[in-house]
């Protein structure tokens, strides 16, 4: 059960969005069910049906209805797991935006990551603990259930499946909850979250490799079936993919910490709203700059001249065509201060998405233009 962060507004996604079918909400979190869940429900129904028939006396065909009921119980267990994450996150000040239930379990998305290791540990650990609690309660009740009844079969299956989920999710490697705890512990010790993410991500890759080795050894020893081996390999693939994404994210954040407006901007000159293409090109050449920012009538950055469009204006008309005609308007708020760097810079860019930003110095004078593509290129370097 992975956890991810999401931007504000996730709770407003309509039913049928890419997150899945909207089925309700819990507090601030909207709950989605992805159609892929019906695939795993069908698989559980088909494979568990014969087990039901051999364990209890039921009318022919009813065993598959009972097996589907178990698939629904698994879904409920996953939901409780994710709800525990959401509840802990809300209590620590980072409320969940949505919960998604799907083929492989589910995940909870938050408005922001936990701000410190202690809160991250709390949010992570409650998921497996909730499954362990369900397993324990089911085990207690099963002792008083009818030995030949369907309820006892449900209770036994619920106890075993939740115990497996609890233990598996507690393993120390991303993207599992135990990996989140390991990430937070390393973060606590080193004071650096990306270091924790890298360490836990590589541990996740080790777990994936161990899972593959275990599947191969079981088949070689004749203790497993081809179907179970394929399931193990599929789980290993998901672990490897999640761990690799975590490692890539850690490298991304590490590089993002080095990003600085002053180093990435293109030096620019401001020109008045009445400036022509010719005067703007003369100004940028005289200043040795690379970009031109057109100011509005109040002297505020309003647009950035498109170099290709400006170059396409015939020389004979360059002193007649306003620079604003060949400029791209800046979205509202697409203005940055010199000196922004690291998390502060990335946060500002995420809050005010734009292709380009005007950069101002402490005296609110235009000194450059920051291109989002340049930031993305810099942060994407390994």
Residues 319 and 307 in one domain: yes
Q: How many CB atoms lie within 10 A of CB 147?
A: 8
Residue at which a domain ends, from 226, 253, 280: 253
Q: Cα(261)–Cα(321) distance, rounded to whole angstroms?
A: 32
Q: Cα(186)–Cα(121) distance, rounded to whole angstroms?
A: 11
DSSP state string for 119-152: HHHHHHHHHHHHHHHHHHHHHHHHTTS-TTSHHH
Residues 191 and 290 in one domain: no
Residue at which a domain ends, from 170, 198, 228: 170
Collapse the DSSP code of 60 into the 3-class scheme (helix H, G, I; strand E, B; otherwise coil) and give the result.
Answer: coil
Q: Cα(135)–Cα(226) distance, rounded to whole angstroms?
A: 28
Residues 166 and 177 in one domain: no
Answer whether 289's CB lies under 8 Å from 276's CB.
no
List the chain pLDDT tens, one digit each, 382 residues.
Answer: 444 443 323 333 333 446 688 999 888 899 999 998 898 888 888 887 887 777 776 777 788 888 888 888 889 999 999 999 999 999 999 999 999 998 767 889 988 788 899 999 999 999 999 999 999 999 988 878 766 777 888 888 889 889 989 999 999 999 999 999 999 999 999 999 999 999 999 999 999 999 999 888 888 887 877 777 787 888 899 899 999 999 999 998 888 888 999 999 999 999 999 999 999 999 999 999 999 999 999 999 999 999 889 889 998 999 999 999 999 999 999 999 999 999 889 889 988 999 999 999 999 999 999 999 999 899 887 5
How many domains, in total, are found in the chain?
3
Give the residue numbers spanning the domain of 340.
261-379
Residue at which a domain ends, from 170, 202, 231: 170
Residues 10 and 159 in one domain: yes
């Amino acid at each position: 059960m992975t956890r991810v962060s999401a931007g504000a507004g996730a709770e407003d996604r309509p039913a049928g969005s890419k997150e899945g079918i909207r089925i309700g909400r819990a507090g601030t979190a909207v709950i989605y069910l992805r159609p892929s869940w019906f695939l795993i429900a069908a698989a559980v129904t088909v494979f568990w049906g014969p087990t039901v028939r051999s364990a209890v006396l039921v009318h022919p065909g009813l065993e598959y209805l009972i097996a589907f009921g178990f698939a629904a119980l698994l879904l409920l267990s996953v939901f409780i797991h994710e709800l525990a994450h959401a509840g802990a996150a809300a209590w620590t000040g980072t409320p969940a935006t949505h919960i998604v239930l799907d083929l492989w379990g589910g995940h909870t998305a938050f408005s922001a990551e936990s701000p410190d290791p202690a809160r991250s540990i709390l949010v992570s650990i409650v998921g497996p603990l909730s499954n362990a609690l369900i397993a324990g309660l089911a085990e207690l009740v099963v002792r008083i259930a009818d030995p030949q009844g369907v309820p006892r079969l449900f209770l036994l299956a619920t106890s075993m499946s939740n115990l497996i989920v609890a233990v598996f999710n507690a393993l120390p490697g991303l993207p599992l909850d135990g990996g989140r705890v390991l990430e937070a512990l390393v973060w606590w010790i080193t004071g650096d979250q990306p270091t924790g993410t890298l360490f836990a991500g590589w541990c996740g890759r080790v777990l994936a490799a161990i899972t593959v080795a275990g599947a191969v050894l079981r088949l070689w020893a004749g203790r497993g079936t081809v179907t179970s081996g394929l399931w193990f390999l599929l789980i290993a693939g998901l672990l490897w993919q999640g761990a690799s994404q975590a490692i890539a994210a850690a490298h991304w954040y590490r590089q993002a910490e080095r990003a600085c407006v002053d180093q990435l901007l293109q030096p620019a000159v401001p020109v008045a709203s009445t400036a022509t293409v010719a005067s703007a090109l003369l100004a940028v050449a005289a200043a040795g700059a690379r970009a031109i920012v057109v100011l509005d009538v109040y002297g505020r950055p309003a647009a950035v001249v498109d170099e290709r469009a400006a170059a396409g204006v015939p020389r004979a008309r360059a002193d007649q065509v306003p620079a604003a005609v060949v400029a791209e308007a800046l979205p509202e708020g697409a203005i940055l201060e010199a000196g922004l760097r690291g998390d502060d810079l990335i946060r500002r860019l995420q809050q005010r998405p734009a292709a380009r930003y005007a950069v101002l110095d402490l005296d609110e004078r235009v000194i450059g233009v920051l291109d989002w593509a340049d930031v993305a290129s810099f942060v994407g370097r390994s």
